[in-house]
Amino acid sequence: MATKKTAMDKIRNLGIIAHIDAGKTTTTEGILYRTGLNHKIGAVHEGETTTDWMEQERERGITIVAASVTCFWKGHQINIIDTPGHIDFTVEVERSLRVLDGACVVFDGKMGVESQSETVWRQADKYGVPRICFINKINQTGGDFYKSLESIHNRLNKRAFPIHLPIGFEQAINGVVDLVEMKAYTYKDFTDKELIEGDIPEDMMDQVKRARSLLIENAVAEDETILEKYFEVGEEGLTTEEIKKAIRTAVLTGKFFIVTGGDGRGVIVERVLDLVNEYLPSPLDVGSTWGTHPKTGDEIERKPDEAEPFASLAFKITADPFVGKLAYFRVYSGKITAGSYVLNSSTGEKERIGRIVRLQADKREDVTEVGAGDIAAIVGLKGTTTGHTLCDLDKPIVLESITFPEPPVAIAIEPKTKSDQDKMSIALQRLAEEDPTFRVKVDEETGQTIIAGMGELHLEILVDRMKREFKVEANIGQPQVAYRETIRKDGVEAEGKFVRQSGGRGQYGHVWLRLSQNEPGKGYEFINSIKGGVVPSEYIKPVDEGIKEAMANGVLAGYPVVDIKAELYDGSYHDVDSNEMAFKIAGSLGLQAGVKAANPVLMEPVMKVVVVTPEQFMGDVIGDLNAKRGRIESMEDLPGGVKEITAFVPLGEMFGYTTNLRSSTQGRASSSMELDHYADVPNHVAEAIIAKNAK
């Protein structure tokens, strides 16, 4: 059954983002309950929630994969993506933000801004996503709307202004004052069916007027017409509609944020939904998207309009136990119908659109058509993966893809029995299709299968999913660090010469390379400076390929070589004996010789570690981090005698840290870590790693 189509200005593509345990999933449950999709609110700790439908999510009480749900509120269609808060699954947040138009950032009212709140906020800044702030749990002991607001100002952005003020404090909270409407909305119990509209409590009037003036004064600055009127007549002379228009204009800049608070399980969520409808952007507000022509590279514009050629981005692939492969996609222009053909411009292949489904977490509803601005999923696409563009066959366009970090942690994995061997290959391939930060490779020397991910928890969950969903039993090794190699000397010249004479036609490839450092994170760059055809043009690409192949196994300890420029500036060839293979091998030999001469170094991933600990354990925590070659960056006081320590520590020292931290602090400290940068390994450590790998 297909639902009635929603006008584009009434569509909201909304991400719910936050630190782990701030209450994102519970808030989503509250929204689904209030919009009529659920008959009761599922509790995370009881494993009943709609969007946390994977077994591992229900057991651990955390969100792992971003789940997409469509619901309706006051004539608006809201496509919600509930994203994970755990740092190991940060890529889920990244790819969701790429296709969303607005976000609701949830904060824990007892903790304020936490480390992962900062990470998701930065990600939203990167994509310019307008957002509203919801301070959750302020009706619980220790919950404080104003302290949390202060932490938003101190750690994220000064331009965050309350649009609602809570009535009461902690357990006595029973509603909010709306600073635009100048009305109070209260309830007797937070689980009430509806809010009661009434007058603002007398004792709050001065505070309400101050907060309202601040909100209006800052919002009108973004709307010239209303700003002029404001200077003439003051805030009293502005109508409610004008104030709303000014706030909406300000929010849409992505640099002005409205703040509300309450209990994500409660009736107050209805006011949050009203804010989403009134102030967050529709696809029309976001405007055109830009891409390039796959052949010419010319820039192409696509307007959010169904009359335009079809263009969409696949932002997530999942293996569904009932229907097979599901590709979530966001349509930017045109429309798509079930049964039609589209072009995957990222691969150049044609794909047939079988079924299109709208998702309500793990339930689904078939639809025949999806238009510009909407989000849905396609069943059974063959060659489409995350970041691919699906577009009109005759009007090709490639949209900007999604970039993912290289995974820093690896483990060896092997099947327990012979019969698990094939099943394991299929399972790993499926999981790698779903998750772009999960990599699988076979070590050519040992024949072992190596899997790499963003952290220990990430790999633990993937191995667990393999066991449950694909019924594969496997043994796993100790976590290993994904080291890198690079050079520290510029302008090093090296010769690569491959000559073989063995009866009949020989082999001849000869190149001169000049190696230099590239900027950190820039990767590999190949420069062709051949003049006068000393190396014929058809052999240039094989040289480049040979260099890349040699870079995969470095010269110090066999780790990939990164961040180098290789300039091919001279060489020679033989009329008869030269061929592509000979030049590929010459390129490879030249690279190895050059790296050896260019002061090669080993680099290790350095993690940004944030530890939240009661003050009494602070000395022990800092001492432990220092012993792990850590560098303490900052220490901050949090409410309730708690300290937050930020440090940079090499990943190799951090395996099992979470468990050790819990045991040394009686279970009262918590930590999170994310890859920050790569740095040179100290000599004594590098020698030990090289010696170990030489065995």
Per-residue pLDDT tens digits for 222-239: 888 889 998 988 888 899
- More confident position, 627 or 58: 627
Of 36, 63, 61, the residue nearest 51 (C-alpha): 63
pLDDT tens for residues 75-132? 888 888 756 544 445 555 666 777 889 999 999 888 888 877 877 787 788 788 999 9
Q: Which residue has the higher pLDDT, 673 or 657?
A: 657
Question: Residue 193 forms beta bridges with which residues?
Answer: none
Can you tell me the mean pLDDT for 282-293? Answer: 90
pLDDT of residue 610: 86
pLDDT at 597: 95
Per residue in 475-484, pLDDT tens?
888 888 889 9
Structural domains of the chain, with CATH: 8-282 (3.40.50.300), 289-399 (2.40.30.10), 409-481 (3.30.70.870), 485-598 (3.30.230.10), 603-694 (3.30.70.240)
Burial class of 347 by CB neighbour count within 10 A (0 to 12, 13 to 18, 19+): middle
What integer pLDDT is reported at residue 296 of this predicted model?
86
* Ramachandran region, residue 639 (left: φ > 0; alpha: ψ -120 to 50; beta: rest): beta
Query: CB pairs under 8 A, 24+ apart, for 219-228?
Result: 219/161, 219/243, 219/246, 219/247, 219/249, 219/250, 219/256, 220/246, 221/250, 222/246, 222/249, 222/250, 222/253, 222/256, 223/249, 223/250
Q: Which of 402, 223, 412, 222 is nearest to 328 (CA)?
A: 402
- How far apart are alpha carbons 358 and 68 in whole angstroms? 9
Task: For residues 62-79, give the mean pLDDT.
Answer: 69
CA-to-CA dists, residue 620 to 498, 499, 611, angstroms: 58, 61, 12
Sort strands 600-614 and 642-650 into parallel, antiparallel or unpaired. antiparallel
Q: How many CB atoms are closer than 10 A to CB 695?
A: 4
Query: Mean pLDDT lowest for which of 11-20, 65-74, 598-607?
Result: 65-74
Spatial separation of the C-alpha atoms in residues 20 and 167, rounded to whole Å: 27
pLDDT at 441: 84
Q: What's the pLDDT at 75?
A: 87
Q: What is the pLDDT of residues 323-377, one digit of tens each?
A: 777 888 889 999 999 989 999 998 889 999 988 988 664 467 888 999 999 888 8
CB neighbourhood size of 442 (10 A): 11
User: What pLDDT digit, counting tens, does each position of 25-52 carry?
Assistant: 677 777 777 776 444 444 433 333 434 3
Q: Is 690 exposed, middle or buried (0-12, 13-18, 19+ CB in 10 A)?
A: middle
What string of H, E and C letters represents the secondary structure of 112-158?
ECCHHHHHHHHHHHHCCCCEEEEEECCCCCCCCHHHHHHHHHHHCCC
pLDDT at 1: 36
**pLDDT digit string, tens, across residues 523-533:** 899 999 998 88
pLDDT higher for 124 or 626? 626
Q: How would residue 622 be classed by pLDDT, with cut points 50, 70 and 90?
A: very high
Closest of 585, 570, 591 to residue 487, by C-alpha:
591
pLDDT bracket for residue 588 (50, 70, 90): very high
Strands 449-453 and 439-442: antiparallel
| Mean pLDDT (whole number) for 583-589 | 95
CB 332 within 8 A of CB 404: no
Q: Rounded to an integer, what distance in angstroms lies between the CA atom of residue 686 and that of residue 272?
A: 53
Q: Reply yes or no on whether the pLDDT at 569 is more than 90.
A: yes
Is pLDDT larger for residue 276 or for residue 641? 276
How far apart are the C-alpha atoms of 368 and 514, rounded to whole Å?
57
Q: Looking at per-residue confidence, does 211 or 295 come out higher?
A: 211
For residues 620 and 316, what is the distance between their CA atoms, to the nearest angstrom?
Answer: 42
pLDDT band at 260 (very low <50, low <70, confident <90, very high): very high
464 vs 159 pLDDT, higher one: 159
Give me the DSSP letters along 19-67.
STTSSHHHHHHHHHHHTTS-SSPPPGGGT--SS--SHHHHHHT---S-E
Distances (CA, A) of 541 to 52, 221, 295, 436: 48, 55, 19, 28
Q: Is 426 helix (H, G, I), strand (E, B) or coil?
A: helix
Average pLDDT, the chain: 84
- The answer for residues whose C-beta is within 8 angstroms of residue 80's C-beta and 6 or more apart is 14, 15, 16, 28, 31, 68, 69, 70, 71
Query: Rounded to an integer, what distance in angstroms lies between the CA atom of residue 142 and that of residue 110?
Result: 5
Within 10 angstroms of residue 449's Cβ, the number of other Cβ atoms is 19
Cα angle for residues 461, 466, 470 (degrees, 5° grid):
150
Query: pLDDT, tens digit, for every residue of 188-212?
Result: 887 777 888 999 999 999 999 999 9
Rounded mean pLDDT of 596-607? 93
- The more confidently predicted of residues 230 and 68 is 230
What DSSP string runs through 242-311?
HHHHHHHHHHHTTS-EEEEEE-TTSTTHHHHHHHHHHHSPPHHHH--EEEE-TTT--EEEE-S-TTSPPE
Residue 517 clears pLDDT 60, i.e. is over it = yes
Residue 353 · residue 338 · CB < 8 Å: yes
Angle among Cα 465, 469, 470 to the nearest 5 degrees reads 100
**CB-CB contact of 110 with 83 (8 Å):** no
pLDDT for res 363: 65
pLDDT average, residue stretch 123-143? 87
- 142-154 mean pLDDT: 91
At 145, the pLDDT band (50, 70, 90 cuts) reads very high
